[in-house]
């Protein structure tokens, strides 16, 4: 069994959720009594992992459809593990049930008990009869739970790098090994710890030219971000509506620069928080500037209209190759810069319920 739909790293953001859909009607308790043998039940469980073929009529319907899909997997996985406690397949069943439960929470905008999730993953990783493939997938997801707490637990940066090194030592032949190394490098782009800086230097001096080049690019981006904190941010462009935007003219205001895309579900979810903060705090001095990383201008404008975004938008049509995003290493959306009244970058990655209080604090300075 292979894990499907692995989340990009700095989903790693627990706040990056889809807009919560109305709760679907309570489903009747699943009945698996028809499956008398482990093989029969397993065949059914595998069939539940096939993506729905019916196209949802709306975004809301798609969320409800996804909830039903993941919910069915969660129930079946848990039931299989309970019904056949000696079958080695109980471990991939538990793993997929755990992942499906996590997706259900994200769709509903509910928090995850990360400590409890790590405990369940540790059980799989340490299981004597779990396959190496299942253990590697569990170890990968465990590392992702560490990354979800970077902002509140900076020590998790160190723990994440240790998990990445352990993964490389134990699962070098895993299809996820290259992804884990890539994520380890990407984490270093924001890692504030001395250990992170030392590890980045090690990567930059690697004999592997691709690894060294990637690390050196991160070093350059970190330097660019560091410079943003030492002098006023310079950003000027002609917005999609034809008006000129220059942050230099917004001194005295608190400015949120929001990198987003109409094709990014987490972006659309976070923009609801941005709109709420703007409506509350714009009269007190908050300005928002959008940097669209879309390729299709029509889709961008449709999202602007649907969400009611009143602020200017930068649009290049180059997607993630946007010049500003590329210069500062914006690889995961949404991404936010919070700039104070003097034009200095004060916060990166701020969002969710933390956004409005952070803006209010800067407005009070």
- pLDDT of 50-102, one tens digit each? 988 888 888 788 888 898 999 999 999 999 999 999 999 999 999 999 999 98
Query: Quick check: is 266 in a domain?
Result: yes
| Separation between Cα atoms, residue 266 and residue 42, nearest integer Å | 33
Query: What's the CATH code of the domain at 351?
Result: 3.40.30.10
The range of the structural domain enclosing residue 284 comes to: 236-363
Residue 3, pLDDT score:
40
Residue 250, pLDDT score:
94
Residue 28, pLDDT score:
54
Query: Quick check: is 338 in a domain?
Result: yes
Q: Look at residue 49 and tell me whether its pLDDT is greater than 70.
A: yes
Query: Quick check: is 277 in a domain?
Result: yes
| Separation between Cα atoms, residue 336 and residue 271, nearest integer Å | 11
- In the chain, the number of structural domains is 1
* pLDDT-above-90 percentage for the chain: 55
Query: Quick check: is 214 in a domain?
Result: no
Residue 108, pLDDT score:
78
Residue 225, pLDDT score:
76
Residue 244, pLDDT score:
92
Q: Look at residue 229 and tell me whether its pLDDT is greater than 50.
A: yes
Query: Quick check: is 310 in a domain?
Result: yes
187 contacts 161 by C-beta, under 8 angstroms: yes
Q: Look at residue 9 and tell me whether its pLDDT is greater than 50.
A: no
Query: Quick check: is 315 in a domain?
Result: yes
Query: Quick check: is 142 in a domain?
Result: no
Q: Look at residue 26 and tell me whether its pLDDT is greater than 80.
A: no
> Tell me: the pLDDT tens digits for 149-161?
887 788 999 999 9
Number of CB atoms found within 10 A of residue 116's CB: 10
Query: Quick check: is 330 in a domain?
Result: yes
Biggest CA-to-CA distance, the chain: 72
**Per-residue confidence band for 22, with pLDDT thresholds at 50, 70 and 90:** very low
């Amino acid at each position: 069994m292979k894990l499907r739909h692995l989340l990009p790293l700095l989903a790693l953001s627990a706040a990056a959720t889809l807009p919560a859909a109305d709760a679907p009607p309570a489903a009747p308790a699943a009945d698996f009594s028809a499956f008398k043998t482990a093989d029969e039940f397993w065949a059914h469980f595998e069939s539940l992992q096939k993506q729905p073929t019916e196209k949802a009529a709306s975004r809301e319907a798609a969320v409800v459809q996804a909830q039903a899909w993941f919910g069915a997997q969660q129930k079946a996985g848990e039931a299989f593990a309970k019904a056949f406690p000696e079958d080695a397949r109980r471990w991939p069943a538990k793993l997929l049930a755990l992942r499906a439960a996590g997706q259900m929470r994200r769709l509903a905008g509910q928090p995850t008990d990360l400590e409890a999730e790590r405990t369940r993953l540790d059980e799989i990783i340490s299981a004597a009869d779990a396959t190496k493939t299942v253990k590697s997938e569990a170890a990968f997801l465990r590392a992702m739970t560490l990354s979800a707490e970077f902002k509140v637990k900076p020590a998790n940066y160190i723990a994440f790098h240790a998990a990445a090194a352990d993964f490389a030592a134990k699962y070098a032949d895993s299809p996820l090994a290259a992804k884990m190394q890539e994520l380890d490098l990407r984490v270093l782009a924001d890692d504030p710890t001395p250990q992170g800086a030392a590890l980045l230097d090690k990567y930059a001096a690697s004999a592997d030219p691709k690894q060294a080049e990637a690390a050196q690019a991160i070093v350059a981006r970190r330097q660019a971000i560091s410079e943003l904190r030492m002098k006023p941010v310079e950003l000027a462009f002609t917005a999609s509506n034809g008006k000129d935007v220059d942050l230099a003219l917004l001194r005295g205001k608190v400015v949120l620069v929001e990198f987003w895309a109409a094709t990014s579900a987490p972006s659309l979810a976070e923009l609801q928080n941005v709109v709420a903060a703007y409506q509350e705090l714009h009269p007190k001095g908050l300005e928002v500037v959008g940097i669209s990383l879309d390729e299709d201008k029509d889709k961008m404008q449709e999202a602007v209209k649907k969400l009611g975004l009143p602020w200017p938008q930068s649009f290049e049509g180059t997607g993630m190759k946007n010049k500003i995003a590329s210069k500062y290493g914006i690889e995961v959306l949404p991404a936010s810069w919070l700039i104070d009244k003097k034009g200095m970058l004060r916060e990166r990655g701020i969002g969710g319920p933390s956004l409005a209080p952070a803006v209010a604090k800067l407005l009070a300075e």
